[in-house]
Every structure is written in C-alpha cells, then in structure tokens.
C-alpha cells in the first residue's frame, strides 16, 4: 500500500494507512523508518518520522539522524529534519546524536535554505559552537531575507546563546528583528531591556505593543520599569 503513489493524493486512504501503522512505529521504530524511507506516500514518511521523534529517547534521535543522513532528496531530508525539530522543541543543550557532525556538514551544502536553516537550529540545540557563530552572522546580515534572520535569532534565543544579551540589544534596533528581540528579552535578564523596549514602544504596531507588554510583565524589574512609564505617562 505504501508503494501505491496514486493513493498519496487521496483524501482518506493515507490516514487509514496511518491509523493502522502508528502502533507498529511505536513498537519497532527502526523497522518502521526502514519501511517508510522509500514510500510513495510522503505523509506516511512524515508521520512515521514524527512518531519516532515523539518517543523522546536518545536512541530515537540517533535513528532520525541516521535516516536523515541516508536521505537522497530534499523532501525526504525535510521529513526527518522537521521530526527532529519537533522532538527537541523546548529542550536545551541536548546530547549530540550519533553521526550528527557528518550529517550536518552535508546538510549545509543543500540548495534549500529551509534545509540549511533547520540544520543550523538543530546544531545549536546540540551544542555545536560553530553553529552559534553562523547564526549570529545571519542575524546581523541585512542582505538575507527577513524570515531567515528572524529564524536565526529565535534559534539562538531557544538555545540560550551565551551572547544573547548583547545580540538582543543590537537586534532590537533593527525593524526586521525587533519583535523577535522583544520576545527574547523575556528569556534573559538584562538591565537595559526595559529602557530599550520602552524607547521603541511608540513606534510599534498594536500587535507588536502586545508583545512588548507581555515581555515587560515577564520579570519583576521589567514590570517596575513598565509601571514607572505608565506613571509618568510615557
């Protein structure tokens, strides 16, 4: 059934296959990844990779990296990259999976920015210091598109970059990265944060102002500065 390409666009059949297949993935993740590596129904491969990642063990991450390394085309790589990204979301400084360094080197040669950027974000989570430096350069590079720079900054925030406070002070001055920077200040204690956020507050859109208020109420010192600004009608 998984080799029947005509079913890939059917509204119901891929889901029916998945409902039958999911318990097998949980019981035997390596066999499941092997079977779906060549499936003609991309959704089955995507769901299988995500289910393996949801196991949450170091062994499950090792398996995803193994199949990521053997993937031949970009859609396959994205399946495993997305599964890895979901598996590590909210976690910081995880142990680096087996074979990651070699796989990461190959992924950085990809023609797709989405593949390269996802790999960089994962490398940061796995504690790769070279990836930290690359992402900092991306944040500062104004020739890159906005989504790439914003994604790079968000990845550094999630990974608690040691240089985060300095980076946020610079990023908040740039309209492209300003909102991500404001959100990031909720994750780091910086005495300059309230002053910088309130400085830009009048220029923010209504939705951006809500982001600023959320950050300013996230820490006691920030909230005190907010109350002072309200009291002085600034």
The model's pLDDT over 125-183, given as tens digits with 9 standing for 90+, comes to 888 878 888 889 999 999 988 988 998 899 888 888 888 999 999 999 999 999 999 99
Band of residue 53 on the pLDDT scale cut at 50, 70, 90: very high
Q: Please, what is the average pLDDT of the chain?
A: 92
Rounded Cα distance between 168 and 179, Å, is 10
Give CA separation, 205 vs 86, 173, 208, 213, 222, in Å: 31, 15, 5, 12, 20
* pLDDT over 70 at 92, yes or no: no
Average pLDDT value for residue range 105-129: 87
Tell if the pTM clears 0.75, that is, is over it.
no
pLDDT at 127: 82
Rounded Cα distance between 150 and 163, Å, is 16
Average pLDDT value for residue range 42-67: 95
Rounded Cα distance between 83 and 52, Å, is 8
């Amino acid at each position: 059934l998984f080799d029947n390409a005509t079913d890939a666009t059917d509204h119901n059949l891929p889901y029916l296959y998945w409902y039958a297949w999911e318990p097998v993935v949980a019981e035997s993740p390596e066999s499941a990844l092997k079977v779906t590596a060549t499936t003609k129904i991309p959704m089955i491969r995507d769901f299988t990779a995500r289910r393996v990642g949801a196991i949450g063990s170091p062994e499950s991450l090792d398996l995803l990296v193994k199949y990521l390394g053997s993937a031949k085309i970009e859609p396959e790589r994205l399946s495993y990259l997305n599964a890895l990204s979901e598996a590590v979301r909210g976690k910081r400084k995880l142990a680096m999976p087996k074979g990651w360094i070699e796989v990461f080197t190959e992924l950085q040669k990809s023609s797709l920015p989405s593949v390269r950027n996802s790999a960089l974000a994962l490398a940061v989570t796995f504690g790769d210091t070279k990836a930290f430096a690359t992402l900092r350069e991306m944040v500062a590079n104004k020739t890159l598109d906005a989504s790439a720079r914003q994604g790079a900054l968000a990845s550094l925030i999630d990974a608690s970059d040691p240089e985060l406070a300095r980076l946020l002070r610079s990023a908040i001055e740039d309209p492209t990265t300003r909102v991500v920077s404001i959100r990031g200040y909720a994750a780091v204690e910086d005495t300059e944060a309230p002053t910088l956020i309130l400085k830009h507050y009048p220029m923010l859109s209504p939705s951006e102002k809500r982001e600023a208020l959320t950050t300013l109420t996230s820490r006691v010192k920030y909230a005190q500065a907010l109350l002072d600004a309200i009291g002085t009608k600034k």
